């Protein structure tokens, strides 16, 4: 499903002119090599662009150029019009000096392969820059260039940079853009991809057509945590993975054409911030099967809580309008079209989670659904996660933050939890059980109950446990765990009003125990409350707390629950949070009056 979806999206990108023609690759170039008519290096100039870096020294960004398709083969294999310094110059750079020799002589062998292939390729071609390039290939001797000043000026930047050639005096006319080079390369690429002797022909598993099968798949770049050089989505590295005598990716039966399409489309998506987000070490890619890019912006506005400048639609206001309708969150297709003019609710929408491993890219999840359904399901999730007024969107990065310790800079959310959470949001299905366990543990460990954590617990309980926890404090809710949470909030507020700011409150000392075993903690807390009541100023405050605590205790069934299971601990937390927020709301009301 993923490869077929990417191939279909490639066709859309091709119609828009957003992908490269077949046979070409994007290459990051830092320096341009100026050649004289005699083929000597006149100078090496930087073509990097300076961009602002938050008040620090400007950041240098390489220039992206389009060159003949780069090699994907392991070992020594030079490209036509090479960009890698080891091939071009045949020199290693170590400890401030250049050396053509090492244990494997890889530098010498790489340069020799580069010279042979490129001299053969440009044979019969005639232009000023091509002739200068030919002389460079014939005359450059790595062992005689150990003290080349142009190379020394590059210093440590020598080895990790891409290079392009031009003729001195014409810096904008790069060698790989020469019309004769392009014509020759197009012919060469067509010949290479023809059905030559040794080509493996089979039925493609994606297109269903008999075609040359790709032996090696192009690398995917831009996945967080992956190799800088890229990783493959499909690859066979061990002989134990081969079957029926097939080697490498001949086992996958993906044609060369399909391979080129899906890798190009995925690389395009990973380069565009409008089509991906990164959550810890998982990269989430998304796209709609449409020429219109507004689909992606609207979905991500709802998931990430930001506004897409290209969208033209105030997504947050749309969600608020939907949420105000109540828990049903009903919306018709006509209303959807009104909110997002020009977007078809029947359009297929894909969301894919990617994570690199030691050998290739791992697919954590693949979601495919109607755009209209996803839009409504995300809105329903946002509605479920609301815990108090006023309504606020809960973005995914905030959810991720609340699932780990605030004191840790390295802790990450389990990718399996994030994957299942994504699926639950998109399909309006049950949340993973580990979500509630993680949230309750974090609240009890951190002693921190905020709107995000309480809202997620509410969403879990309403969806998984079929509860009906309301958007604000519910005086009619007689659930024992909910009441215990309300009572704890009241006792904490009483202590604060009686003693002011102190080093350790009852929340610091007793919250975790009260949430798990109320019967062992609340008798002690109620005894402390009597002492706190005596220290209050004014009879009005004493009457208020006596009345509130009494009303809550009257609704408890004779005694406090001895233990609370996990779901009830979640209700305790919600009762605590909503009662606490009610104190603040009442205070604001009094100030306004």
Please compute, for residue 330, the number of CA atoms within 13 A of its CA located in the half-sphere on the CB side: 1
d(CA 200, CA 377): 45
- Please indicate, yes or no, if residue 214 is contained in any of the structural domains: yes
pLDDT at 336: 58
**208 and 164 housed in the same domain:** no
Alpha-carbon distance 222 to 37, whole Å?
39
Residues 309 and 454 in one domain: yes
CA distance linking residue 482 with residue 438, whole number of Å: 19
Confidence (pLDDT) at 309: 44
For residue 472, whether the previous peptide bond is cis, meaning omega lies within 30 degrees of 0, is: no
Looking at the fold, whether 160 and 256 belong to one and the same domain comes out as no
- Do 93 and 227 lie in a common domain? no
Q: What is the pLDDT of residue 311?
A: 42
What pLDDT, on a 0 to 100 scale, did the predictor assign at position 278?
Answer: 86
User: Based on the domain organization, do 438 and 523 belong to the same domain?
Assistant: no
Query: What is the rounded distance in angstroms from the CA atom of residue 217 to the CA atom of residue 303?
Result: 33
- The rounded distance, in Å, linking the Cα atoms of 59 and 52 is 6
Asked if residue 441 and residue 371 are part of one domain, the reply reads yes
506: in domain: yes
On whether residue 475 sits in a domain, the answer given is no
Please give the pLDDT value at position 317: 61
Q: 237, 270, 303: which is the final residue of a domain?
A: 270
Nearest to 275 by CA among 350, 193, 333: 350
Domain-located, residue 2 = no
Q: Do 396 and 448 belong to one domain?
A: yes
Distance from chain centroid for Cα 584: 37
27 in any annotated domain: yes
Are 500 and 563 part of one and the same domain?
yes
Q: Looking at the domain assignment, is residue 402 inside a domain?
A: yes
pLDDT along the chain (593 residues), means of 10: 93 87 87 95 93 82 90 84 94 87 84 96 95 96 91 90 95 94 90 63 88 85 87 77 64 85 92 85 90 75 57 52 50 59 82 86 91 83 83 84 86 87 91 96 94 95 92 92 96 93 92 96 95 90 93 90 96 96 69 43
Could you count the other beta carbons within 10 Å of the beta carbon of residue 58? 11
Tell me if 534 sits within 8 A of 499, measured CB to CB. no
Q: Let me know whether 51 and 86 are in one domain.
A: yes
Q: Are residues 495 and 392 in the same domain?
A: no
In a domain, 1, yes or no: no
Q: Does pTM top 0.75 for this prediction? A: no
Whether residue 581 is contained in a domain is answered as yes
Single residue among 252, 270, 288 that ends a domain in this structure: 270
- 112: containing domain: 18-192
Same domain, 186 and 41: yes
pLDDT of residue 332: 57
Strands 49-51 vs 59-61: parallel, antiparallel or unpaired: antiparallel
Domains in the chain, number: 4
Q: What one-character DSSP code corresponds to residue 255?
A: B
| Residues 328, 350 within the same domain | yes
pLDDT of residue 69: 87
CA distance between the termini of the chain: 61
| CA-closest candidate to residue 118, choices 136, 143, 104 | 136
Of 440, 464, 488, at which residue does a domain stop? 464
């Amino acid at each position: 499903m993923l490869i077929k979806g990417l191939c279909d999206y490639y066709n859309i990108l091709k119609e828009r002119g957003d992908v490269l023609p077949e046979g070409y690759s994007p290459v990051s170039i830092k320096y341009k090599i100026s050649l004289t008519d005699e083929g000597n290096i006149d100078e090496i100039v930087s073509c990097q662009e300076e961009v602002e870096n938050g008040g620090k020294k400007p950041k240098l960004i390489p220039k992206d150029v389009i060159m003949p398709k780069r090699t994907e083969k392991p070992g020594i294999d030079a490209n036509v019009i090479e960009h890698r310094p080891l091939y071009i110059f045949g020199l290693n750079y170590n400890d401030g000096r250049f050396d053509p020799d090492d244990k494997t002589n890889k530098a010498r062998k790489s340069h020799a392969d580069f010279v042979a292939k490129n001299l053969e390729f440009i044979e019969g071609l005639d232009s000023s820059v091509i002739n200068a390039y030919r002389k460079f290939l014939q005359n450059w001797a790595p062992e005689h260039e150990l003290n080349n000043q142009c190379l020394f000026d590059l210093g440590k930047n020598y080895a990790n940079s891409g290079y392009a050639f031009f003729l001195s005096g014409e810096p904008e006319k790069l060698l790989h853009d020469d019309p004769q080079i392009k014509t020759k390369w197009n012919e060469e690429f067509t010949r290479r991809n023809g059905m030559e002797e040794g080509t493996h022909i089979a039925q493609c598993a994606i297109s269903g057509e008999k075609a040359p099968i790709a032996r090696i798949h192009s690398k995917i770049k831009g996945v967080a945590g992956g190799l800088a050089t890229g990783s493959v989505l499909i690859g066979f590295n061990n002989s134990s993975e081969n079957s029926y005598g097939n080697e490498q990716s001949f086992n996958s039966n993906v044609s060369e054409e399909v391979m080129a399409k899906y890798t190009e489309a995925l690389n395009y998506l990973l380069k565009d911030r409008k089509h991906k987000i990164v959550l810890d070490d998982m990269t989430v890619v998304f796209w709609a099967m449409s020429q219109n890019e507004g689909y992606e912006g609207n979905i991500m506005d709802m998931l990430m809580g930001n506004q897409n400048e290209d969208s033209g639609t105030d997504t947050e206001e749309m969600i608020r309008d939907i949420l105000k309708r109540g828990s049903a969150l009903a919306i018709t297709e006509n209303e959807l079209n009104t909110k997002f003019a020009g977007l078809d609710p029947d359009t297929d929408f894909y969301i894919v989670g990617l994570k690199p491993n030691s050998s290739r890219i791992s697919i954590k999840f693949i979601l495919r659904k109607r755009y209209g359904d996803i839009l409504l399901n995300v809105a329903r999730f946002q509605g479920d996660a609301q815990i108090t007024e006023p309504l606020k969107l809960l973005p995914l990065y905030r959810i991720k933050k609340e699932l780990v310790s605030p004191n840790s800079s390295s802790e990450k959310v389990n990718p399996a939890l994030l994957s299942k959470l994504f699926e639950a949001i998109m399909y309006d299905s049950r949340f993973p059980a580990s979500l509630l366990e993680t949230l309750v543990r974090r609240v009890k460990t951190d002693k921190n109950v905020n709107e995000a954590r309480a809202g997620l617990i509410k969403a879990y309980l309403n969806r998984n446990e079929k509860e009906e926890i309301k958007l604000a404090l519910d005086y009619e809710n007689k659930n024992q765990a909910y009441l215990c949470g309300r009572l704890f909030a009241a006792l904490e507020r009483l202590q604060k009003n009686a003693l002011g700011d102190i080093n350790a409150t009852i929340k610091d000392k007793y919250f975790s125990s009260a949430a798990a075993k109320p019967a062992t903690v609340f008798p002690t807390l109620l005894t402390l409350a009597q002492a706190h009541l005596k220290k209050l100023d004014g009879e009005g405050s004493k009457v208020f707390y006596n009345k509130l605590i009494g009303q809550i205790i009257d609704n408890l069934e004779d005694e406090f629950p001895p233990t609370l299971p996990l779901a009830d601990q979640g209700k305790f937390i919600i009762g605590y949070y909503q009662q606490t927020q009610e104190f603040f709301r009442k205070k604001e009301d009094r100030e306004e009056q």
